[in-house]
Amino acid sequence: MRADVADRAVDGLDRLAGSGLALTSFWQAATTWVRRVVPFDFFPCWYTLDTVSLLLTGHYNAQLPVADHEVPVITDYLEDRYDPATIHHLPTVSTTEQAAPGDPRRWSTYRSLLAAEDAEHELTALLRENSTCWGAVTLHRATANRPFDGEEVDFLARIAPLLARGTRRALRTAPASCSPRDEAPGVVLLDEHLDVVSATAEAERWMSGLPGGVDASTGRLPWSVLAVAARARRAAHGEKPADTRTASARVPSRSHGWVALHGSPLHGSPELRISVVLDSASPGSRRELLLRASGLSDREHEVAGLVTRGYSTREIARMLCLSPYTVQDHLKAVFAKTGVHSRRELISAGALAP
């Protein structure tokens, strides 16, 4: 790997991350820069993840559409590999040879899927910035080619924060419109195999704006709906804590702003049934997303969170063992990054954000 080529790519990606491009446009342009340093054989798979539950909320690949039967395999694999309890201990970049998900059966199924596509060599980078994970990107090489080497792993780790920054900025502006607050929630009912049993008309409207949309002719659902349902299914089987908060995701919609998805297994039926409820994200959830998407440092995010809960500067200083002047400095940075001008505006940000 030539150092000058790598340095130029880093500079190019740094400028690109601050350009404000829409999400897929940013990923397409970033792909060009990455390929100059790390050769790969197929267009990368880009993913967005919920920042709290780490459930998959979107997928993009410009050249290789994912077949219907592949969606559950990939969703289960990502669900197994990226657990919120362990994500902060995982390396930013790993290869197929280094990855070791918890369930060998899912790992074997996923490896078989890669082999069927002649793409057994995989390099994955988490898109993390300030301890927040916005997504992931995977590069693939054909089975007959050489695996990704250490220099390539190090380069991808070097640029992962830049890819995260560009993804974060795009997601902040992604929801262009917002649904009426009185629009009824939608409900989708799925069976053990995540096939649709029934869905309300409202659910069809909510899903139509989600990444990937809904295909009535094949019954395919958005990736985010399948990911939430898969985690609820695993909870029903005792593979995940029976905590409904873990089977939740916030997803940017083309037509409904930020949409909240909640999955849970239904009881009282001889066969397993999973329900997924779709509704507008709450003001508190939208505010939390705005704070994260504004690129706050961990300390700034902590201060902002306490402000929105009604604590004064002196109370925050005492709780965080800081001086009131330091708290004010953090608050000024929060105002500048989020575009608000007062505590009241910050507290109201959830109601104003799309």
Most confident of 87-91, 99-103, 107-111, 162-166: 162-166
Banded model confidence at residue 111, pLDDT cuts 50, 70, 90: confident
Cβ atoms within 10 A of the Cβ of 305, count? 16
Write down the pLDDT at residue 352. 43
Given this model, what pLDDT does residue 228 score? 93
Dist. CA 188–CA 213, nearest whole Å: 14
**% of the chain residues with pLDDT over 90:** 50
**Backbone phi, psi, residue 12, to 5°:** -65, -40
State how far the Cα of 56 lies from the Cα of 108, in Å rounded to an integer: 20
Of residues 133 and 62, more confidence is placed in 133
Residue-wise burial string across 125-138, b where 16 or more C-beta atoms lie within 10 A, e elsewhere = bbbbbbebbbbbbb
Q: Is 241 helix (H, G, I), strand (E, B) or coil?
A: coil
Pairing of strands 248-253, 196-199: unpaired
Under DSSP, is residue 216 helix (H, G, I), strand (E, B) or coil?
A: coil
Please report, as a single letter, which amino acid is at residue 274.
I
Each residue's pLDDT tens digit, 153-170: 999 999 999 999 999 999
The residue length of the chain stands at 354
pLDDT at 52 over 60: yes
Average confidence (pLDDT) over 266-281: 91
Q: How confident is the model at residue 172 (pLDDT cuts 50, 70, 90)?
A: confident
Question: For residue 52, what are its two tokens?
Answer: 């709290």
Helices and strands counted in the chain (H then E): 12, 10
Q: What is the DSSP string of 126-174?
A: EEEETTEEEEEEEEEE-TTSPPP-HHHHHHHHHHHHHHHHHHHHHHHH-
Distance of CA 47 to the CA centre of its chain: 7
Segment (H or E) for 349? helix 343-352
> Residue 110 above 70 pLDDT?
yes
pLDDT value, residue 101: 53
Sequential DSSP letters for 272-332 = -EEEEEEEEPPHHHHHHHHHHHTT--HHHHHHHHHHHTT--HHHHHHHHT--HHHHHHHHH
For residue 79, give the 3-state DSSP assignment: helix
